Amino acid sequence: MKKLLIIACMLFSIELMAQDGKYKVTDADYDNDKVEMADTMRSNGKIYVVVGVIFILFMGITFYLYSIDKKVSALEKEIENPQEQ
Amino acid sequence: MNILKKHWWKFLALALVSYAILGGLLLEVPRLAILNETIRNLYFHVTMWFGMIILLLVSVIYSILYLSKGKNEYDFRAVEFANIGILFGVLGIITGMLWATYTWGEPWSGDAKQNTSAIALLIYLAYLVLRGSIEDEQQRARISAIYNIFAFAALIPLLFILPRLTDSMHPGNGGNPGFNYYDLDDKLRLVFYPAVVGWTLLGVWLVSLRVRLKEIALKLINDN
């Protein structure tokens, strides 16, 4: 956890970078499978990430379709009762 | 046509296509040589064609209704159902070419069903051209309704009969094993049929939007 925090800090803080690192990240940190990461999304060649992307795209397009649908409904209402607005 | 203004079936379409995407990509499929994971295209490529057939069937029903009742609303429902049906067909051809590249070795191998479905699409594109070329509204509606009936009558033998009389690489055609070979596998069916319904409903949603816009435009023209 500590290591992770330090990695995160080093990524986002220039000040910490300037301190010349109390902890040096080595290759071993990247191979360390004792630290739990978001492994489900990384298994099977990360195919689940692709599934997620496709799903998000579909939801986004559908949401857009739904907003068009609402605009059409608004137009229909306006045409039926033009005085009301 | 009040059902087109209700919402529940749109959420049903959303849920079913979501299921097709998530279930279709993640659930277990049979491990077959050459096909490999591309068997999952059953839920996407094949459903486009099933959706197209359903949409075009509804289109021709509206054309027949127009010829017997003569109401304009039947005419533009027929054309919008045909429009989205053609869209599904074009998407089906394009996805089929991508799939064929990696399973049959080339995008267009002159496969009997590839050729006949391309001809069928051209016949339907001619339907749109025909409509565009007639100025008079009533004439356009009547002539194109009759053409639509002929187009649908040609579609059925082109897609379902001719490819079976010759050799086709599509499952269930020519010397190839029937659709049941893998399609009627229970696990595949569990995703396939909901996917067909979902994609078709999504198509109907697109149709309904275009029909409603057309009705608004007509009302504006009539009011002014």
Of B123, B128, B200, B182, residue with least CA distance to B157: B123
pTM > 0.90: no
CB distance B127 to B148 below 8 Å: yes
pLDDT band for position A28 (50/70/90)?
confident
pLDDT at A46 over 80: no
What band does B183 get if pLDDT is binned at 50, 70 and 90? low
Task: Measure A79 CA to nearest chain B CA, in Å.
Answer: 7
> Is the CB of residue B214 less than 8 Å from the CB of residue B83?
no
Residue A18 pLDDT > 60, yes or no?
Answer: no
A interface residues, B as partner, C-beta within 8 Å: 47-48, 50-51, 54-55, 58-59, 62, 65-66, 68-69, 72-73, 75-76, 79
Closest-CA residue of chain B to A50: B25
Say how many C-beta atoms besides its own lie within 10 A of residue B144's C-beta: 24
Average pLDDT over residues B140-168: 92
Q: What is the pLDDT of residue B184?
A: 59
Closest to B18 (Cβ–Cβ): which among A58, A66, A68? A58
User: Rounded distance, CA B136 to CA A11, Å?
Assistant: 69
ipTM at complex level: 0.71
Question: In the structure, what pLDDT confidence band is assigned to residue B154 with cuts at 50, 70 and 90?
Answer: very high
Mutate to test the interface with A, among B87, B210, B213 (most CBs of A within 10 A): B213
Q: How far apart are CA B24 and CA B19, in angstroms?
A: 7
| Nearest CA among B95, B78, B140, B150 for reference residue B120 | B150
| Amino acid B163: pLDDT | 84
pLDDT score of B152 more than 80? yes
pLDDT bin (cut points 50, 70, 90) of residue A16 is very low
Specify the higher pLDDT residue, B70 or A82: B70
Among B29, B175, B148, B28, CA closest to B78: B148
Do B147 and B60 contact (CB within 8 A), yes or no?
no
Give dist(CA A15, CA B28) in Å, integer.
Answer: 50
Q: Say which residue, A1 or A49, is predicted with more confidence.
A: A49
Q: For residue B4, what are the contacts with CB-CB under 8 A and spacing of at least 6? A: B204, B208, B211, B212
The region of weakest confidence among A69-83, B64-78, B92-106, B162-176 is B162-176
